[in-house]
Amino acid sequence: MLESSSTYASRIRRFRLPRVCIAVVGSDAATMSERAESLLRDNPFLELRLDYLPQPLAALPKLKHLLEIHPEATFIATCRRAVNGGKFKGSVASELAVLRRAADLGFPLVDLELQSAEELKAEELRDLWDRVGLILSHHNFRSTKKLDEEFAAMSQYRADFYKLVSTATNLYDNVLMMKFLEKTFGTHEMVGVCMEEQGIISRVLGVRAGSVFTFAAATKGEETAPGQVTASELRDVYRIEMVDQATQVYGVAGDPVSHSLSPVMMNAAFRRETVNAVFLALHAKSLKDLLACVQGIPIRGLSITMPYKQEIVAALANSDPLTRLIGACNTVVRAADGKLYGFNTDVAGIVVPLEQRLTLAGARVLILGAGGAARAAAFGLQAKGAEVFITNRTPASGVALARQAKGKYVKRAELAKQQFDVIINATPVGMNGAKQAPLEEKELNTKLVFDLVYNPAETKLVKMARAKSIEVIPGLEMFVQQGARQFEIWTGKPAPIAEMGYVVTKALERKAAEEAEEEEKALAKKGTARKAAVRKAAKKPAKATRKR
Ligand code: NAP
């Protein structure tokens, strides 16, 4: 017999749970205990993954001290069996023995997989429930298809929390999970999340839809499920503790999108201006999936990045004249009636930093590239009265753009002989650690270089320009300016530009430091391998000598 939901409520009132639970792993009890200890200062809610220990039952008494000295913290004991996606090789009876022992040692919550519950006798389950708070879990490692059926099987059993974890294979799977959570909100204490990269948004939006809490990794590399993000990212970037049903949802959509710094910048802007909104990264494998997700969540605004800037134009109910002229949209507003309206803020991102430095009317501006960013530059600058020149790897598209934007096409071979006021790099050359520049030194005949590439902050082109004492505008300025316009379109408030620039600069510095550390490690590894090879080679002649 199931208890009524009000009885559940009075029972779980004991658990005043934070939003984020960190899964802690370790190869032995001492390591796990140490790891938990280091996390507890900032994270009072931990799941100890006992199944990662070689002998969980024997190890449990060694974890008791941790519970005793941290009465303020909430611990979940989990001993998931290997057949259910965990590491524990023992039987269901052994899993039950571990969870009972954990309960007796003072763990307030234990996690039991549905498949294990199905194998236990009713009195064994009742006994466990009498001892400890029970989280009944079900993991679907393939899809997000049958949430209602899966939950129907779970709700046969009495539990304090029901944890339903599915696998997202597209963005719309998150919508299915949100709708399910909204439906069960108020009747059951649910924890719902979609795994995998496509499901990352469910880790933030789940709590908005009614999930009591969500799971996070302690650090990158310590994930216990695919798509898990770190607790600090959930708290510091997404402000998960503030997310509620009134929180508006925005996002950057593209493929790929995980490298995007838009979430860091936009969430900081929302925080600074106290806007109850969250900005997510939406990895859209198709525009159709993205549009279905936008309507299903629903999402209030989108920043559109590669490869959908052109494709999305056909899905818009209306757009501003520049978007129509350029044929590319980077900003979408979803109106109350569900219709999508498009804007192009890349133009402002290019024009505003230039206008802060020179008069554009009559200025000779060379644009490298003929893609989306080059189109925004060409039309935006032409509208300001600049003389626009284009050069491109594929001359045909460069010639076409020059014609459309009333500019001139310049052959690469002629660049060294020409003089410009501004050169804009609108190609990806120099991005993400690439050491190339889109031009040679002799072709940099200009007063100002604007490199639209913003990661890394100091590209090869920027360094070359500085070495020739040419003024530089880094791509970061475009990124912040186009984001500032987006913020204003979405919220109607002035954007906190200084804050936005600051957080992106810091994020790029962190990224550069991480990359330098990785490079150092790789070099050290190479060095060790080389030393080993030298040692091996040194042994060979000795062998040969013996032979002779
Ligand atoms: P896109 O539409 O794909 O266009 C890329 C352009 O670069 C094309 O003209 C392409 O020439 C050219 N190109 C690509 N690889 C090249 C190479 N190896 N050598 C020479 N030319 C090459 O991309 P997009 O949206 O315009 O973006 C271009 C770059 O602008 C991005 O990579 C990004 O770094 C930067 N961007 C920055 C911001 C910002 O906020 N700072 C915003 C948007 C874009 P073909 O025609 O021959 O293919």
Q: What is the pLDDT of residues 37-80, one digit of tens each?
A: 999 999 999 999 999 999 999 999 999 999 999 999 999 999 99
Both tokens of residue 11?
């029972």
Rounded Cα distance between 457 and 502, Å, is 13
- Cβ pair 74, 102 in contact under 8 A: no
Task: Identify which has the larger pLDDT, 178 or 512.
Answer: 178
In degrees, rounded to 5, the angle at the alpha carbon of residue 14 between the alpha carbons of residues 11 and 20 is 115
DSSP 336: T
- If you measure from the C-alpha of residue 372 to the centroid of ligand 1, how many angstroms do you get, rounded to a whole number? 7
Q: What φ, ψ does residue 536 adopt, rounded to 5°?
A: -65, -45
Take atom 18 of ligand 1 and give the residue whose Cα is closest: 429
Rounded Cα distance between 421 and 344, Å, is 25
Q: Is residue 426 lining ligand 1, measured as CB closer than 6 Å? A: yes
pLDDT of residue 536: 73
Burial 306-330 (b: 16+ CB within 10 A, else e): eebbbebbebbeebbebbebbebbb
Atom of ligand 1 nearest to the CA of 482: 40
Q: Is residue 397 lining ligand 1, measured as CB closer than 6 Å? A: yes
Taking 90 as the threshold, does the pLDDT of residue 3 lie above it? no
pLDDT band at 4 (very low <50, low <70, confident <90, very high): very low
pLDDT of residue 541: 54
pLDDT band at 15 (very low <50, low <70, confident <90, very high): low
Q: Is residue 330 lining ligand 1, measured as CB closer than 6 Å? A: no
Q: Could you count the other beta carbons within 10 Å of the beta carbon of residue 41?
A: 7
Q: Is residue 374 lining ligand 1, measured as CB closer than 6 Å? A: yes
pLDDT of residue 156: 96
- If you measure from the C-alpha of residue 13 to the centroid of ligand 1, how many angstroms do you get, rounded to a whole number? 55
Q: Is residue 184 lining ligand 1, measured as CB closer than 6 Å? A: no
Both tokens of residue 164?
């339903």
3-state SS assignment for residue 173: helix
Tell me: the pLDDT tens digits for 257-310? 988 999 999 999 999 999 999 999 999 999 999 999 999 999 999 999 989 999
Query: Averaged over 515-524, what is the pLDDT?
Result: 84
Q: Is residue 306 lining ligand 1, measured as CB closer than 6 Å? A: yes
- Choose the residue to mutate in 308, 330, 344, 427 for probing ligand 1, maximizing ligand atoms within 8 Å of C-beta: 427
pLDDT of residue 535: 75
Rounded Cα distance between 210 and 198, Å, is 20
Taking 80 as the threshold, does the pLDDT of residue 328 lie above it? yes
Q: Could you count the other beta carbons within 10 Å of the beta carbon of residue 57?
A: 17
- If you measure from the C-alpha of residue 398 to the centroid of ligand 1, how many angstroms do you get, rounded to a whole number? 12
Atom of ligand 1 nearest to the CA of 475: 41
3-state SS assignment for residue 195: strand
Rounded Cα distance between 277 and 302, Å, is 13
- If you measure from the C-alpha of residue 366 to the centroid of ligand 1, how many angstroms do you get, rounded to a whole number? 15
pLDDT of residue 538: 72
pLDDT of residue 542: 47
Taking 70 as the threshold, does the pLDDT of residue 82 lie above it? yes
Query: Averaged over 480-500, what is the pLDDT?
Result: 98
DSSP 258: T
In degrees, rounded to 5, the angle at the alpha carbon of residue 255 between the alpha carbons of residues 319 and 496 is 60
Taking 90 as the threshold, does the pLDDT of residue 151 lie above it? yes
Find the catalytic residue in 309, 463, 506, 543. Answer: 309
DSSP 4: P
Q: Is residue 453 lining ligand 1, measured as CB closer than 6 Å? A: yes
Q: If you average pLDDT over every residue of the chain, what do you get?
A: 93
Rg (CA), the chain: 28
- 309 classed as catalytic: yes
Closest CA to 494 of 220, 208, 193, 275: 275
Q: Is residue 372 lining ligand 1, measured as CB closer than 6 Å? A: yes
Q: Is residue 254 lining ligand 1, measured as CB closer than 6 Å? A: no
Residues making up the chain, counted from first to last: 548
- If you measure from the C-alpha of residue 499 to the centroid of ligand 1, how many angstroms do you get, rounded to a whole number? 27
- pTM over 0.85? The answer is yes
Share of the chain above pLDDT 70, in %: 95
Strand order, beta sheet including 74-78: 190-195, 161-167, 133-139, 109-113, 74-78, 45-49, 20-24, 214-217
Taking 50 as the threshold, does the pLDDT of residue 93 lie above it? yes
pLDDT band at 540 (very low <50, low <70, confident <90, very high): low
Task: Identify which has the larger pLDDT, 463 or 512.
Answer: 463
Beta bridge partners of 165: 139, 193
pLDDT of residue 517: 86
Q: In whole angstroms, how far apart are CA 498 and each of 453, 483, 495, 506?
A: 20, 12, 9, 12
Taking 60 as the threshold, does the pLDDT of residue 14 lie above it? no
Rounded Cα distance between 467 and 267, Å, is 36
- If you measure from the C-alpha of residue 395 to the centroid of ligand 1, how many angstroms do you get, rounded to a whole number? 14
- Choose the residue to mutate in 351, 432, 452 for probing ligand 1, maximizing ligand atoms within 8 Å of C-beta: 452
Taking 90 as the threshold, does the pLDDT of residue 498 lie above it? yes
Beta bridge partners of 139: 165
pLDDT of residue 12: 52
Closest CA to 229 of 220, 240, 239: 220
